[in-house]
């Protein structure tokens, strides 16, 4: 079958005005809870899109680690490509691809670094091997082979087998404060339901239906 002939109907649900909430973060939380309950693979996985100094966009998948009243939290090495992009341009886009539920959510906003105390609290809540991996990997930097990375990890594991790692200054979280959130529900005959929330500093969140 040719790629151009691959298609299917979307018929798992609809999104109506009645289902909307005043604050889109409440609707996001509802959809996230439903994705988790449906046991779909990696329900907290999201694409993070950034733009570098030359205007070149980059995308990668990370895990949402916290949803607050202000927005979406993820963590990374501050030497990573995404962190370097955000240092020069805080505008960011997130995308949640819940294909198994015929849903997706797109977010536009600005990313802000979280305080060091917040970063440390989360870092030390992670399994020890995950902490060690954060120290072993200078994220996005070239390395000669996988064996060198594994050797670095093993060395750190031996070094800290009886002691706690220090809180890393090179690693931490970003809070993405949304200014626009779009909810997409697949529809029959490609007549999808799309609602876009936009934040107005004076009037708060406003929602409008978009054509598919």
User: Is 184 marked within a binding site?
Assistant: yes
User: Is 25 marked within a binding site?
Assistant: no
Q: Mark whether 190 is an active-site residue.
A: yes
User: Which residue pairs, CB below 8 angstroms and at least 24 apart, start in 52-60?
Assistant: 52/81, 52/84, 52/85, 52/88, 52/89, 53/88, 53/89, 58/82, 58/85
User: Is 10 marked within a binding site?
Assistant: yes
Angle at which helix 146-159 crosses helix 128-136, to 10 degrees, equals: 130
User: Is 194 marked within a binding site?
Assistant: yes
User: Is 198 marked within a binding site?
Assistant: no
User: Is 126 marked within a binding site?
Assistant: yes
User: Is 9 marked within a binding site?
Assistant: yes
Q: Which of 103, 108, 152, 190 is catalytic?
A: 190
User: Is 105 marked within a binding site?
Assistant: no
Residue of 178, 156, 181, 176 whose CA lies nearest to 168: 156
User: Is 110 marked within a binding site?
Assistant: no
User: Is 107 marked within a binding site?
Assistant: no
Handedness of CA 20, 23, 24, 25 (dihedral sign): negative
User: Which residue pairs, CB below 8 angstroms and at least 24 apart, start in 203-210?
Assistant: 204/22, 205/22, 205/23, 205/24, 207/20, 207/24, 209/17, 210/182
User: Is 63 marked within a binding site?
Assistant: yes
148-to-81, 129, 154, 174 alpha-carbon distances in Å = 21, 17, 10, 29
Binding residues for FMN: 60-65, 75-76, 81-82, 104, 139-140, 184, 194
Binding residues for substrate: 7-10, 65, 122, 126, 130, 190-192
Binding residues: 7-10, 60-65, 75-76, 81-82, 104, 122, 126, 130, 139-140, 184, 190-192, 194
Enumerate the active-site residues: 190
């Amino acid at each position: 079958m040719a790629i151009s002939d691959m298609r299917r109907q979307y018929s798992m649900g609809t999104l109506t005005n009645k289902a909307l909430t005043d604050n889109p973060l409440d609707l996001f939380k509802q959809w996230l809870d439903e994705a988790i309950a449906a046991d779909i693979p990696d329900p907290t996985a999201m694409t993070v899109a950034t733009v570098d100094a030359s205007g070149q966009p980059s995308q990668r998948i990370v895990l949402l680690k916290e949803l607050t009243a202000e927005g979406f939290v993820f963590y990374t090495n501050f030497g990573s490509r995404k962190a370097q992009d955000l240092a020069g341009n805080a505008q960011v886009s997130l995308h949640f691809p819940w294909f198994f539920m015929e849903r997706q959510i797109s977010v536009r906003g600005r990313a802000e670094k979280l305080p060091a105390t917040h970063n440390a609290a989360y870092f030390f809540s992670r399994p020890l091997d995950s902490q060690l991996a954060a120290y072993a990997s200078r994220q996005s930097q070239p390395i000669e082979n996988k064996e060198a990375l594994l050797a670095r990890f093993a060395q750190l594991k031996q070094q800290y087998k009886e002691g706690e790692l220090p809180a890393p200054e090179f690693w931490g979280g970003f809070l993405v404060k949304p200014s626009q959130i779009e909810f997409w529900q697949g529809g029959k005959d490609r007549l999808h339901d799309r609602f876009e929330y936009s934040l107005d500093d004076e009037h708060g969140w406003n929602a409008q239906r978009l054509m598919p």
